[in-house]
Chains A and B, each alone.
Chain A
Amino acid sequence: MATVAVRAPAKSAAGTPPRTRRRKWTGWAFAAPFVLLFLVFSALPVLASLVMSVTDLRSTDLRHPLAVNFTGLDNYIRLFSDELFLRSALNTVVFVVVGVPLTMVIALAAANGLNSGLIRFRALFRVGFYLPVVTSIVAVAVVWRFLLDPEVGLVDNLLRLIGVDGPNWLADTSTAMPSLIVMTAWRNFGTMMVIFLAALQSIPADLYEAATLDGAGRWQQFRNVTLPLLRPTLLFGAVYTGIGYLQVFEEPFVMTQGGPLSSTLSVSYHIYNQFGFGNYGYASAASYVLFVAIVALSVLQFRLLRERD
Chain B
Amino acid sequence: MRKRRTVAIVAVAAALTLTAGCGRDAGSGQEQAKAVDAGKATGDITVWAMGTEGEKLAAFAKDFTAENPDAKVNVTAVPWDAAHQKIASAIAAKQTPDVSMIGTTWQGEFAKTGALDPTPPDLIDSAAFFPGAWATTQVNGTSFGVPWYVETRALYYRTDIAAKAGVTSPPKTWEELTAMTKAMQAKGGAKWGIYLQPGKTGSWQTVLPFAWSNGASIADDKGYTFDSPQMTEALQYYQSFFTQKVSPTDLPNGQLEPDFGKGAIGAFISGPWEAGLVDEQGAKGKYAVAPLPTKQSSTSFIGGSNVAVFKDAKNRDGAWKFIQWLSKPDVQVKWYQTVTDLPAVQSAWQDPALTSDPILTTFGEQLKTAKAPPSFPTWEQVAASLDTEVEKVVNGKETPAAAVKTVQSQAQSIGTGA
Instruction: Give chain A's interface residues, CB within 8 Å of chain B.
Output: 1-4, 7, 47, 50-51, 54-55, 58-70, 84, 149, 168, 171, 257, 259-262, 273, 276-279
Contact = CB atoms under 8 A, between A and B. Distances in A.
Given A63-B94, A273-B384, A261 B395 contact: yes
B113 A51 contact: no
A58 B88 CA distance: 11
B88 A59 contact: yes
B109 A55 contact: no
Given A63-B113, A67-B23, A47 B378 contact: no
A260 B23 contact: no
Contacts of B82: none
Contacts of A4: 3, 7
Contacts of A278: 109, 377-378, 381, 417
Contacts of B84: 276
Contacts, number: 95
Task: Bin the interface of chain B by size.
Answer: 35 or more
12 contacts: A2-B7, A58-B377, A62-B91, A63-B92, A64-B114, A67-B22, A69-B23, A70-B19, A70-B20, A260-B395, A277-B384, A278-B378
B91 A63 contact: yes
Interface stretch (B8-16, B43-51, B275-283, B355-363): B8-16
B345 to A, nearest CB: 30
B192 to A, nearest CB: 14
Contacts of B127: none
Interface SS majority for chain A: loop
Contacts of A69: 22-24
A64 B112 CA distance: 11
Instruction: Name the residue among B3, B18, B88, B380 with the largest chain A CB count within 10 angstroms.
Output: B18
B200 A259 contact: yes
B19 A55 contact: yes
Instruction: Name the residue among A3, A7, A63 with the largest chain B CB count within 10 angstroms.
Output: A63
Contacts of A65: 92
A3 B200 contact: no
Contact of B24 (A62, A68, A277): A68
B391 interface: yes
Contacts of A1: 7
A264 to B, nearest CB: 13
A147 B142 CA distance: 52
B252 interface: yes
B314 interface: no
Contact of A54 (B19, B88, B384): B19
Nearest to B253: A145
